Structure 1
Amino acid sequence: MPHLAPIIAALLITNASDFATLRKDPANDGRVFVFEGVVAVPPSSDAFMILDDSGRACMFNRPEFRPPFSAGDRVRTYGNLAHFIKAKASVPICERTEILSRGSVPKPLPVSPSDLKSGKYDNRFIRISGKVEECFSDDTDSDWVYLAMDCDGETLYAASPHSHATAETHLKKLQGLVGARIAMCCIYSPEFGITSRRLIYKTTVIFVDENSIETLGESPNDPFDVPDIGQRPVPNLSGFLKLRRCKVTGQVIAIWQGDTIILRTPEGEIHNIELSGGTLPKRGDMIEVAGNAETDLCRINLNNATWRPVDIAPPVMQQTALLEERDIIRHRADRQLLAPLQHGNKVRIVGLVQDISKAHNGECTIQLKCHDDSFAVTAKADDAPEIGSTVEVTGICIVETTAWRPHAAFPRIKGVSLLATEDGAIRIVSRPPWWTPFRLLVVIGALLAVLAAILVWNYSLRRMAERRSQLYLKAKLARMESELKVGERTRLSVELHDTLSQNLIGASMEINTAEQMTLSDGPQALRHLDIASKTLKSCRDELRNCLWDLRSQALEEPDMDKAIRKTLEPYISDIDIQIRFNVPRSLFTDNTAHALMRIIRELVLNAVRHGKATAVKIAGGREGDTLFFSVRDNGCGFDPSTASGIAQGHFGLQGVRERLRLLKGTLTIESSAGHGTKATARLQLPKGAHEKA
């Protein structure tokens, strides 16, 4: 699509000026570049530099994505910008590089540090010369190594990128240039302080590696061929500013912060020495140290230093009394006064251990409370006492100060600590009581944990009990339901056997008898057929009653009056019924209650059907464990001695007596013609029934 070509070309980064402008904007993250130019200096294993046609240069990383090219080759590299949040800038990530042609090495522009301030050499390929004063790695960004150069009295920093694998080799090669005068081919980058994560106020240039450097004068063969501090006294600060690199000889009395040692000279002077790396000397060794001079206005110290052992006897120091807390910190009018000159001297203090924090290299930091002051004590982790102990610590006094700056009146004292890494430096005066706040918290925590466990256990037991209760209740209900069904079936089978079955047998016998007498005695045969008819009618009524009982909810009623009325409802729609049954339903089992209601129903039906009664009174009560109830009607009455029975096909009263017999009860009939009938039943309740009521 030809019409898209101008748009794509506008989006591509093709020169160093565009890159310098766009690299600060995070919105350009991922933007593609196609950069064509000449390789300015021999590439390293970590970076290479390309000079575009305008004479501006750009540094690229990821050289693994390139063919083997040399300085002077014309190449084209492809990739994209990657924005790094910590660096606050974008870095070109090279994805592919191709060689276009071979050519001659480009010539850099010779400049001085003062020329760089004009702006004409921004991102240009330049050549600058000076003396290497110092070489160090950036402790905030391990991808960079710096050279500090003295260019005619002005300090210039030169930075070189490297990978983690080549860091140590790269640093050692550049450290060999310290003290030499060099010429460097590099790029001047005004914004480099952003990329390196440090806002360096000095002028900064970027170079590839040591192959971009030409040595103009031999570097000193002996890095210790520098002035000795003890032989070159500094009368004032102006003299110190000219001191630069120097050396000192003495005995190592302490090692702290990993790479810092405290040196005592034979004259008794104390110096802080910050080593540049490598192996550390041992405490008590006699060494010679060379490094860059700095001061805290109390002593001259060295940084970025190297050391070597010397074969001289350690100085014999005069025994002096150990310092105490009051010799280091004094209080006056609510002010704390520190004694910085006590740095490096031995001190003995007694205090309470408040806290212990583990550190690396087998050391720990102990927070010691001594009267109104607190001290941080660096000691061996194996010698750390228990928190709460009272200890006596003997060690080297460390007064930490900031380095002096020309525009600052005095360096700031950051604090006082003790270095107690010698054997026996810590002596326990008294151990903490067993019942410490920590142990109290542990006990409280354990009790709370036990309480929580008990609560959880109780909750789980309650849930388990609830589940088991539910299961037991379900099982009990199922069993009761099954027993109820079995009982109901048994009761029904008994009812059918005792009534229907017997009555049907009787009816069958009457019919057989009538059949035999049909020809010989017709009237007698008719009488037997009449008895059979009445018997079958009784069977029909009994069957209807059984079916009604199966559908009736009378047994569910808690009140006997209502239960009896429900039982009689289908038969007494136009009869005046009065019920006063003063016996609780809870005294009867379902079978007993059912039998009582069947008895009462039979007595009421007899009164209605045979006695033509229009009003019936039902009453019930108990005396102790004896239950009595009666059914009285206003019917025509009858003579109990001449009443019809089973022989005449009447089974009602006989069925009532049979049910009462099963309940161990009796039935009494009081009746006379024209005066109604009263049937009274008595039966024994279970023992103690009157107490349950």
Structure 2
Amino acid sequence: MRIPLTRERSAKFFPRRAPPGSRYSANPSFFMRHLAILFIILLRSALGQVAEPAVKTVRELQAAAMGENIRGPEVALEGVVTWADPSAGKFFYLQDTTGGIRVNYTAETGPTPGDRLHVQGIPNPGSFAPLIEATSFQNLGRARMPVAPYGSGGGLLNGSFNGEWVETDGWIRTAEFIDKETLMVVLDSGAARISLRVSHAAKYEPEKIIAAKVIAFGVASPVRSRLRIRGEVTMTSGDTAWLHDGDAGLALRGGARGLKRGDRIEAVGFRDLQDFLPVFSDVMVKPDTGPGIKLQPKHLTASELFDGLHHADHVAVTGHLLDRIETPVAEGKQHLVLALQSPRGVFTAELDSPDPKGASSVWEAGSLLEVTGICVVQTNASGEPAGFKILVPEAAGIRVVKAAPFFTVGRMLVLLCITLAILLAFAIAAYLLARRNTRLRSEMSERQAVATERGRLARDLHDTLEQGLTGLQLHIRGITLSLDDEQQETRSRLETMRDLVKQCRTEVRQSIWDLRAEALENYDLGDAIHR
């Protein structure tokens, strides 16, 4: 059966108006009771015993609940009754424009949903949520129900709408009567299951509404219990704080703004999971005046922390520094991430803090550091521990246990770069020298070839032309000597020819000497090149 998604149908789940003929219409006992209350108030005012309390809002009372003692003078509230069921007990929920609150009463009859009341009573911290112990309440007439914000399953379960009139929807999984008029329904809403207590539901047949999609209006009252813890704040980051009670730590999510490291507080909230890890969500905090807590970090090995059993704990662990990354985040502050090596793997330490007097300058790669802070376990998609990081609240939480050796990785890289640069310079010089030697060899080969050719030409000239000229000169000499004295003219011509041949021999001999390389004749190749 599908329940129609109409406001009229949802009103049957949560009746909001008094039916005709109820005790608020022409009921003498109703008027007598309120006349008696009015008489008592006037009498107490006349005697000067108490003054009329000022009307407060629900939010003001919830804020006051964080004080040392909410119990105090009588207060007054005005609002609309959003839920009341005498079969559940003598209490109802009242809501004003700021929120909703539970009101306990002792009168024989109580209000109905939709009544606008003026309530006077004593505030009470309750079971970790403030409530009012009513001494009197006055009906101011009927009023519209507050606008109902939509509350998902997760929002209803974590207490975000505690005591408020809300709207939700989902699919009905189970439904059964716990008495003749009250139906208990389990609703699938998003990723959560919600229990609905439906009053005045005698007309419904549970077996016919199973698997129906419904919209429900009612007052959110988480059934899971809230817890109270106390401890010292070890670190804060935004809306998250880490609390330690001297034995173990826990992350507080929501409501932690304004806290600072070293605060001793008492927190009230819900157990929750975030990334498969326990957190304390939707917390309300107040100062703690109990006995002091002696907080000392637990000195653990990285292998123990990798097991994932020390999430949010205050620990101290050592590791060799591999690298560091610095990112400015604000004026005078920087986000520093240190990568540390342990026998089981690498983990990180993160610091958001000013650097006092350059303390981080002594954290050299290769040095053995001890970091003290909050262990945050990191999980994989299946919820298994995959690693951890340390959130360090201040620079003093990082201490050098053993300085880095001289031949650190960084310095070795620098030396390697210098060596490579020198080798590169030598390689370039050798390349240039080889090119020069090649060029010289080529020039020497050319010169040697030229010298060889010139020597060959000189030998050829010496062996042919000069020898021929020498022979010609001798023949002319012989002819000259054989002539008679009468042949002076012929003798003169022959002498001229002999002189001409002699001159040619001299020029040929000079050419031969010019073709020969004197340096190669008298010196080796190296000396000849220099000359």
TM-score interval w.r.t. the shorter chain?
0.3 to 0.5
When normalised by structure 1's length, the TM-score is 0.34
Compare relative contact order (CA 8 Å, sep 6+) and give the higher one, 1 or 2. 2
